[in-house]
Amino acid sequence: MEALFTLIMLAVGLSVDTFAAALSKGASLKKALKKKQKRDIAIIFTACAVAAPALGYSIGFLLSGLVEAFDHWIAFLLLSGVGLHMAYNGLQPQQHGSTPALNQTRVFLMAIATNIDAVAVGIGIAFTELNILWVCLATALGTLAAVYLGITLGKRGGKLLGPKAEIIGGLILVLIGLKTLLTHLLG
């Protein structure tokens, strides 16, 4: 049950950047997106959201034999560092201005940018008991929900929630990192 809770929180934490991006994009649209456009955006974000922690996990797995004695510290530092950075970004003033047109290249770049931190999270996951396949599945579901919900809510006035979502997601990752550290030190 604890692993399921951690998976859900991890999926939420990793999909918050996507939610914030979709929310702001939805808020900036002059007209609602068609279902096909939403689907295409969701597919691009989800592919990046699954690839990033899987890549990070692979890197961490390859290094695991070298760092087994202090792997819990690596997980803690990476998850907490990414989480604190996300929270910091959420506290920064949002820049307003003209919004560039939405195209697949721009969406792909946005998807990569919002998932770079998930590579570091994946490295940290390699040093935990979590199964990377379940992490990727949970992240995919969280990302799909984040895109659809973010665009829809953003179109309906989501400019207010954007930064707060990133702060919450960052704090969730810090808590997961702290849980990993305490489990190893006290267990």
Give residue-wise pLDDT tens across range 133-149. Answer: 999 999 999 999 999 99
Query: Is residue 92 domain-resident?
Result: yes
Which burial class, exposed, middle or buried, applies to 83 when counting CB atoms under 10 A from its CB (0-12, 13-18, 19+)?
Answer: buried
Query: Is residue 118 domain-resident?
Result: yes
113 or 169, greater pLDDT: 113
- Residue 157's pLDDT is what? 66
96: pLDDT confidence band, cut at 50, 70 and 90? low
Task: Report the half-sphere exposure of 169 (CA within 13 A, side-chain side).
Answer: 33
Say if residues 51 and 161 touch (Cβ distance below 8 Å).
no
- Residue 3's pLDDT is what? 83
Query: Is residue 3 domain-resident?
Result: no
Query: Is residue 13 domain-resident?
Result: no
Give residue-wise pLDDT tens across range 20-64. Answer: 778 777 776 667 788 898 899 999 999 999 999 999 999 998 987
Whether residue 110 is predicted with pLDDT greater than 90 in this model: the reply is no
- Residue 98's pLDDT is what? 47
Whether residue 109 is predicted with pLDDT greater than 80 in this model: the reply is yes
Whether residue 162 is predicted with pLDDT greater than 60 in this model: the reply is no
Percent of the chain with pLDDT strictly greater than 70: 87
* Token pair in block for residue 55: 């890549």
The domain of 122 spans 18-26+34-186
- Residue 101's pLDDT is what? 55
Taking Cα atoms as reference points, which of 107, 114, 140, 104 lies closest to residue 10? 140
Average pLDDT, the chain: 82
Cα-based distances in Å from 46 to 15, 41, 68, 134, 142? 9, 8, 31, 14, 9
List all residues 6 or more positions away from 114 whose beta carbon is below 8 Å from its beta carbon: 17, 18, 20, 21, 45, 48
Query: Is residue 115 domain-resident?
Result: yes
Query: Is residue 138 domain-resident?
Result: yes
The domain total for the chain is 1
> Which of 11-15, 93-97, 146-150, 182-186 is least confident?
93-97
Query: Is residue 134 domain-resident?
Result: yes
Q: Phi and psi for 23 in degrees, rounded to 5?
A: -65, -50
Query: Is residue 6 domain-resident?
Result: no
11 or 17, greater pLDDT: 11
* Token pair in block for residue 7: 């998976």
- What's the whole-model pTM score? 0.72
